[in-house]
Amino acid sequence: MKTVVVLAMHGSPPLDFPRNELQEYFMLEAREHHHSRPGGHSPRLRELEARMRNHPRTETNDPFWKGSRELAEALEKACGLPVLLGYNEFCAPDLDETFDRAVAEGADRVVVVTPMMTRGGGHAERDIPAAVARARARRPGVRFVYAWPFDTGAVADFLASHIKGSGD
């Protein structure tokens, strides 16, 4: 059995993405979010989203992207399994593409994890599970496991160890 880990990250707009397009994106997204459109987003919103997701990333124009890559590398080393990055928004590849890539690379088990530690967030509670459900429907022979939510006590212990080790 080949297991691949998908690290589901939030994503962030690149710092050098054109400001006018970023503002237009957020305006359209807010408008469409409040006035749910049957059939999905407007063509212009899809266009802006694609441009933003596929904008070239560097450690300078997207420190979150750089941090995500560092976390994926460290996680791969720690768990000894291949780790692929997928993003909820703003950055490519999206989760659907990442799940498909995991399967294309031979995974018959895909474990999805996110560093979003607390319950109540829309991405961790709705968006990621919806992407996992879509992947299960597309790939019925592959086992997709969403390794979330985290045990609150384990998260508190993790944070406490950093507090205790922080010194003055």
Q: Are residues 159 and 82 in the same domain?
A: yes
Percent with pLDDT over 90 in the chain = 90
Residue where the block lists tokens 């969403």 = 146
> Which pLDDT score, from 0 to 100, does residue 54 have?
98
Q: Are residues 141 and 71 in the same domain?
A: yes
Which CATH number characterizes residue 136's domain?
3.40.50.1400
Within a 13 Å sphere around the CA of 164, how many CA atoms are in the beta-carbon half? 6
pTM score, two decimals? 0.93
Q: Which domain holds residue 21?
A: 17-54
Q: Are residues 107 and 130 in the same domain?
A: yes
Q: Are residues 46 and 123 in the same domain?
A: no
Domain total of the chain: 2
Q: Are residues 140 and 91 in the same domain?
A: yes
- Encode pLDDT of 35-70 as tens digits: 765 556 799 999 999 999 999 999 999 999 999 999
- What are residue 91's DSSP bridge partners? none
Structure token pair of residue 16: 């050098």
d(CA 116, CA 41): 26
Confidence of residue 166 (pLDDT cuts 50, 70, 90): confident
